[in-house]
Amino acid sequence: MTSLHTPAFVYAFREAAPYIHAFRNKTFVIAFGGELLETDRLAPLCYDLNVLISLGVRVVLVHGIRPQIDAVLATKGIVSHYHGSRRITDSEGLAAVRQAVGLARAEIESQLSLALPNSPMAGANLRISSGNFVVARPLGVLDGVDMQYTGQVRRIDVQAIRDHLALGEIVLFSPLGFSPTGESFNLTMEELATDLAVNLQADKLIFLADSDGIHSEDGTFLPELTAGEAEQLLEEKELTPGSLWTYLACATRATRKGVARAHLVSHREEGALLTELFTHDGIGTMISRENLVKMRTATIDDVGAILALIEPLEQRGALVKRGRELIEMEIQHYFVVEHDGMIIGCVAMHPYPKEQMAELACLAVDPEWRDGGFGDALVQQVERQARAKGMAKLFVLTTQTAHWFVEHGFVLATPEALPEAKKAFYNHQRRSQVLIKTLS
């Protein structure tokens, strides 16, 4: 057995801590196709759902039954008919849907009910609720084709679902809805999950797919997409039930309608759900309405994150040591780069109006993000702010990164070129190099 008493485990647990705090009492809609039920991956998924519940996440679980319906119909020698990508559900098809729902729910509920000692489900005592929370209506006649008992969501009892979630229960949904006249309608898992996420204003909509996420046409994996970028990728793509592109279309629609984040995660990868949710890099594709990277003026609440960024650089002598009190006093001069709520870079600009010069100081980027061009973006931000304040020149003092600044248009100078106020505090023992850039 591998020991967990390792620095890697401690580091990972600490990395997860901000997400544990952020996700408590948040609502996640997690959806997967019936294909998962025909594998051995349902039990590990239930282990991960148990972790989420134990951390205070409110889980809505939506399952599909497409292969199960096909199997039931096959035993009866019935061939399914489709209009486009949607199944035409006649009376025999509806009977198969009901049978498939029963089989699928029994399997899911039995796995979620496990509580064996010395297992990930020990002491879980999970509670599962379901009911007639979804009112459905028939699709009707499409292009002259009567879809019969194929339906779509008409209304969702949001308050009833929230009441069950508040009790710590998993609310389980099958792709079956009911009408006020007592009829049943076959729904698509993807649309049901999306409608639930939108109506509940869920914090996340997560589709568990056969693929690890979205790739560009040249095969490059895309860990993050804005809704606009996703819509561009979806142009002229064929959307079929259960396909990754259909998941992406639904995820994008959800973010456009108020869901904070949507994720496409592989159900083939052990622990992928937890990896996606509790690590900063994740493992799947995340879709957000807007770009996750923000450049903004720092606030007093950012001081701790700034200190954490610059401390390693101070220890190796790349930056002059700054105390918390000094940064708090000068916080109005700082800018930060924020990625999905996490501060990954900072910089300060100190103006010297008398000489029409400004100092670029305290430039730092998290090591894991240094290849992302964020250092360049921070320098450009300082340049824009300096120009806006009427500064003609920008200067920087550095002991270890002179070449990097030269590549960004700075030229070497002497301490004599510094503003008088800065020159008076120049540390001749540190022997920092002076570089100056003329702002056009």
pLDDT digits (tens, 9 = 90+) for 54-106: 999 999 999 999 999 999 999 999 988 888 888 998 999 999 999 999 999 99
DSSP secondary structure letter of residue 148: B
Kindly list the structural domains of the chain, giving each domain's residue range(s) and its CATH number in brackets, ordered by start.
Answer: 10-290 (3.40.1160.10), 294-438 (3.40.630.30)
Nearest CA to 364 out of 386, 396, 412 is that of: 396
Residue type for 294, please?
K
pLDDT digits (tens, 9 = 90+) for 334-370: 999 998 888 999 999 999 999 999 999 999 999 888 7
Neighbours of 50 (CB within 10 A): 22
Is the pLDDT score of 216 beyond 50? Answer: yes
Q: Which sign, positive or negative, has the C-alpha torsion 316, 318, 319, 324?
A: negative
pLDDT digits (tens, 9 = 90+) for 247-295: 999 999 999 998 989 999 999 888 999 999 998 878 999 999 877 788 9
- Per-residue model confidence (pLDDT) at position 1: 44
Neighbours of 215 (CB within 10 A): 14
The token pair at 293 is 């990277």
SS3 letters across 201-264? CCCEEEEEECCCCCECCCCCECCEEEHHHHHHHHCCCCCCCCCHHHHHHHHHHHHHCCCCEEEE
